[in-house]
């Protein structure tokens, strides 16, 4: 008999609500949850490929213990008892000899993050870190510097917007189903779309206005926009008077940054910049300057992100319909959030973090995420102390931290590498023990507290029994904790027990999620009153243009603009991004997605290609100071001549994933590990490369773009 289970997709982190049709313990069909406004049955291509993922025999089928050198692919299949005992024993020994802080755990923020945080707290380690800094560390810090909220506590009201400005935010390829649908609806109703990108992305092709900006100069553009908006009083004066502090200082600061000046730096005509400022002023406050995610990723990213958020503030679009809003929690309507294991009392931790976040060396990044890309250096230099063991939980440091060669050198120094993964990822392949997690279709997960205009809770509910010998991650961590004597912090046996524990005191029960997959604390959208009661969490209760967060830490709010260096002679700036068919480094081996997009290519401008004797489809060598590799050239006019572009996530080294093995090239091999040392993001676009034609190879057409 067919049945329907409401759950959450996990082909990427967006976690779209889904309806899964099952029959005889098999998944027959997946679609967007029709009960959730904005989904209406939709899924993206990756979500639709979830079935192929479930049945893929190339994922990790049972615990594995390494028998040969790291990365050699020599494994022994193990039972759970054997693998967990091995991990428990080795961790015990490391903790006894070097202290709990010598164990680090890195993960992609997820529903079980409270479990892994509790796992480390229980053994006295401060070294939990997430992917967040790699993705948007400087966005997070910029948002806190202005509003007192993290970017994750902010949302975007696409549906009601009149004009959205996207700084490299490639929303129609780097997808979030609800956001894409809501923006499409707004555009159909006449909303304008301005897209700024050194490369003509799919999003650029849908825009009303597209600017091929000189890479890395968005900050100059924004200073000119702010200059104009203040000079011509195009801002929302009532809102700014009530909620913004530091306007006079901003006005003095942007004085020299005229549109004519910005034209020199960005390549965008001053008159065009003026028209944009005027158009936006007409549509405010229902305008959005999109503050995420990738785009111009440089060592000064914090100031670029602040400039975007400042533009929102000046237009009064914060907490406006069609603008950006602060997410409301259940407390707004007298409700209680789901409990987290981290609420318990743990032993006090006095050691600093491995990345020194929260110390005077690195004061501002968010300590609840840390800064992942600091890990290789910390291990190699034993600074601030030796790290001996690393647990990777849905995170691949080899492909996701720039400079894979340095990362591997650091991994080589560790006594223990354990990976909890669903796939034979590159990090799983390089580990000592692999503990396979059940896929999202095979497990119930921790409760998703979905704050927003309407606070809700969602639940990932198990749809079918695990195909292979796998377990949920939260159960795996509990079972390791039991072997370390810290099992008491994990008061559950099954995921359903954990969910029941989390729901205690909320007034909701596990069974309440069965009919639709979610529960709501209210059915009305909550906006705060724009005149009286926006609750900014800065010390002053206002939007702090002159930021106490930055200045108390010794950083200026408005440093002078430093021109973006052009690439040295015969070099290009390497820029990267995503496509609609893959999630980061996770899906390249998926049977469906691999068939459609098996390989990445290098976008290079036609004039530059001609100068280098490169034709479309030629194989080329691309080299940086950190590494080099081979890839096919995609010769095009659709990219700025200073840049070359490749998709992130290809070039896998794991031989067990045969479809993605050695297909295309990994950007992490080429990138230097440089950071914005104020905001915390890696400067992913600060690496220069050379490109040369590989002689004696046939020109051909790859399947990907």
> Interface residues with Mo ion (CB under 5 A)?
135
CA distance 40 to 406: 45
Could you say whether residue 506 binds ligand MGD (CB under 6 A)?
no
CA angle at residue 132 from 41 to 678, to 5 degrees?
140
* Contact in structure between 291 and 312 (CB atoms under 8 Å): yes
CA distance 194 to 501: 47
Residue 526: CB minimum distance to ligand MGD, A: 26
> Which listed range, 91-99, 306-314, 502-510, 582-590, lies at the site for ligand MGD (CB under 6 A)?
582-590
Q: Of 68, 58, 38, which is closest to residue 432 (Cα–Cα)?
A: 68
| Structure token pair of residue 327 | 């997410």
With CB under 6 A, what is the number of residues at the site for ligand MGD?
Answer: 61
122, interface contact from Mo ion, ligand MGD, ligand SF4, none, CB < 5-8 Å by kind:
none
Could you say whether residue 585 binds ligand MGD (CB under 6 A)?
yes
Q: Residue 314 — φ and ψ, nearest 5°?
A: -65, -35
- Of the candidates 223, 430, 508, 645, which one interacts with ligand MGD according to CB under 6 A? 645
- Of the candidates 149, 291, 395, 489, which one interacts with ligand MGD according to CB under 6 A? 395
Could you say whether residue 15 binds ligand SF4 (CB under 6 A)?
yes
Residue 552: CB minimum distance to ligand MGD, A: 29
- Of the candidates 19, 467, 578, 626, which one interacts with ligand MGD according to CB under 6 A? 578
Could you say whether residue 371 binds ligand MGD (CB under 6 A)?
no
- Of the candidates 135, 177, 313, 498, which one interacts with ligand SF4 according to CB under 6 A? 177
Our CB check for ligand MGD shows the closer of 549 and 665 to be: 665
**Which strands form 163-167's sheet, in the order they lie side by side?**
209-211, 192-196, 163-167, 287-289
- Of the candidates 151, 236, 319, 421, which one interacts with ligand MGD according to CB under 6 A? 421
| x/- map, 283-302, ligand MGD, by CB under 6 A | ----------xxxx------
Q: Of 172, 64, 109, 57, which is closest to residue 590 (Cα–Cα)?
A: 57
Tell me which residues in 19-48 interact with ligand SF4 (CB under 6 A): 43-44, 46-47
- Of the candidates 175, 220, 477, 543, which one interacts with ligand SF4 according to CB under 6 A? 175
Provide the Cα torsion 209, 212, 216, 220; round to 10°: -50
691, interface contact from ligand MGD, Mo ion, ligand SF4, none, CB < 5-8 Å by kind:
none
Are β-strands 128-130 and 103-107 bridged in parallel, bridged antiparallel, or unpaired? Answer: parallel
Tell me which residues in 44-73 interact with ligand SF4 (CB under 6 A): 44, 46-47
Q: Give the up-direction half-sphere exposure of residue 529: CA atoms within 13 A in the CB hemisphere.
A: 3
Residue 526: CB minimum distance to ligand SF4, A: 25
What is the DSSP-derived secondary structure letter of residue 362? Answer: B
| x/- map, 130-149, ligand MGD, by CB under 6 A | -x--xx--------------
640, interface contact from Mo ion, ligand MGD, ligand SF4, none, CB < 5-8 Å by kind:
none
Tell me which residues in 1-20 interact with ligand MGD (CB under 6 A): 10, 12-13
Q: Give the up-direction half-sphere exposure of residue 377: CA atoms within 13 A in the CB hemisphere.
A: 14
CB neighbours of 192 closer than 8 A, spacing ≥ 6? Answer: 162, 163, 164, 208, 209, 279, 283
C-alpha dist (Å) from residue 12 to 160, 325, 580, 665 = 26, 24, 11, 21
HEC string of 4-60 equals EEEEECCCCCCCCEEEEEEECCEEEEEEECCCCCCCCCCCCHHHHCHHHHHCCCCCC
Query: How does DSSP assign 134-157, residue by residue?
Result: HHHHHHHHHHHHHHSS-GGGEEE-
What is the CB neighbour count within 10 angstroms for residue 153? 18
Could you say whether residue 63 binds ligand MGD (CB under 6 A)?
no
The site for ligand SF4 (CB under 6 A) is made up of 9, 11-12, 14-16, 43-44, 46-47, 175-177
The site for ligand MGD (CB under 6 A) is made up of 10, 12-13, 108, 131, 134-135, 167-171, 173-176, 196-199, 201, 213, 215-216, 218, 293-296, 393-396, 400, 402, 420-423, 425, 437, 439-440, 473, 575-578, 580, 582-586, 645, 648, 667-668, 671, 684-685
């Amino acid at each position: 008999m067919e049945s329907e289970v409401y759950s959450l997709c996990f082909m990427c982190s967006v976690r779209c609500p889904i309806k899964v049709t099952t029959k005889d313990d098999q998944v027959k069909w997946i679609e967007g949850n029709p009960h959730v406004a904005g989904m209406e049955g939709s899924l993206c291509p990756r979500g639709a490929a979830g079935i192929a993922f479930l049945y893929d025999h190339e994922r990790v089928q049972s615990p594995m213990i390494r028998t040969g050198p790291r990365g050699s692919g020599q494994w022994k299949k193990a039972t759970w008892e054997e693998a967990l005992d091995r991990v428990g024993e080795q961790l015990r020994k490391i903790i006894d000899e070097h202290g709990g802080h010598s164990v680090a755990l890195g993960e992609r923020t997820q529903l079980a993050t409270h479990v892994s945080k509790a796992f480390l707290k229980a053994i006295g380690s401060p070294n939990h870190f997430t992917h967040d800094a790699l993705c948007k560390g400087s966005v997070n810090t910029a948002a806190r510097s202005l509003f007192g909220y993290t970017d994750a506590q902010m949302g975007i009201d696409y549906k009601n917007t009149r004009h959205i400005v996207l700084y490299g935010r490639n929303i129609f390829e780097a997808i979030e189903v609800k956001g894409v649908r809501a923006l499409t609806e707004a555009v159909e109703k006449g909303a304008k779309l301005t897209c700024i990108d050194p490369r003509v992305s799919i999003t650029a092709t849908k825009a009303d206005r597209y600017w091929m900006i000189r890479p890395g100069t968005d900050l100059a553009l924004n200073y000119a926009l702010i200059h104009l908006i203040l000079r011509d009083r195009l801002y929302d004066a009532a809102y700014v008077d009530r909620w913004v502090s530091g306007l006079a200082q901003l006005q003095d600061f942007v004085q020299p940054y005229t549109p004519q000046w910005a034209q020199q730096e960005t390549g965008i005509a001053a008159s065009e910049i003026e028209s944009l400022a005027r158009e936006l002023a007409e549509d405010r406050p229902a305008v959005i300057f999109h503050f995420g995610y990738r785009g111009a990723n440089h060592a000064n990213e914090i100031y670029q992100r602040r400039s975007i958020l400042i533009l929102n503030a000046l237009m009064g679009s914060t907490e406006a319909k069609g603008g950006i809003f602060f997410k409301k929690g259940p407390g707004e309507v007298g409700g209680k959030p789901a409990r987290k294991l981290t609420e318990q009392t743990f032993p006090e931790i006095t050691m600093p973090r491995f990345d020194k976040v929260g110390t005077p060396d690195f004061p501002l990044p968010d300590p609840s995420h840390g800064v992942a890309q600091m890990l290789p250096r910390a291990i190699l230099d034993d600074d601030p102390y030796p790290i001996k063991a690393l647990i990777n939980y849905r995170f691949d440091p080899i492909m996701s931290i720039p400079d894979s060669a340095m990362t591997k050198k650091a991994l080589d120094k560790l006594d223990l590498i354990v990976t909890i993964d669903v796939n034979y990822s590159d990090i799983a392949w390089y580990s000592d023990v692999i503990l396979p997690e059940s896929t999202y279709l095979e497990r119930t997960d921790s409760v998703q507290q979905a704050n927003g205009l309407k606070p809700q809770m969602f639940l990932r509910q198990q749809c079918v029994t695990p195909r292979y010998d796998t377990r949920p991650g939260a159960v795996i961590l509990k079972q390791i904790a039991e072997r370390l004597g810290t099992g008491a912090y994990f008061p559950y046996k099954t995921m359903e027990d954990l969910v029941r524990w989390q729901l205690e005191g909320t007034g909701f029960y596990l069974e309440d999620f069965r009919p639709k997959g979610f529960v709501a604390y209210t059915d009305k959208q909550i906006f705060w009153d724009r005149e009286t009661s926006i609750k900014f969490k800065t010390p002053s209760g206002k939007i702090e243009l002159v930021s106490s967060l930055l200045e108390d830490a010794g950083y200026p709010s408005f440093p002078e603009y430093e021109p973006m260096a052009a690439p040295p002679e015969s070099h290009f700036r390497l820029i990267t991004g995503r496509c609609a068919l893959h999630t980061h480094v996770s899906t390249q081996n998926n049977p469906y997605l691999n068939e459609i997009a098996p390989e990445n290519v290098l976008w290079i401008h036609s004039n530059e290609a001609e100068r280098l004797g490169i034709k479309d489809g030629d194989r080329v060598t691309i080299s940086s100071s950190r590494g080099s590799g081979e890839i096919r050239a995609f010769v095009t006019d659709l990219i700025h001549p200073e840049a070359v572009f490749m998709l992130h996530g290809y070039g896998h080294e794991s031989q067990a994933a045969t479809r993605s093995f050695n297909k295309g090239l990994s950007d992490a091999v080429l990138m230097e590990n440089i950071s914005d040392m104020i905001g915390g993001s890696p400067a992913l676009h600060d690496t220069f490369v050379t490109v040369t034609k590989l002689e004696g190879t046939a020109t051909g057409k790859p399947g990907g773009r």
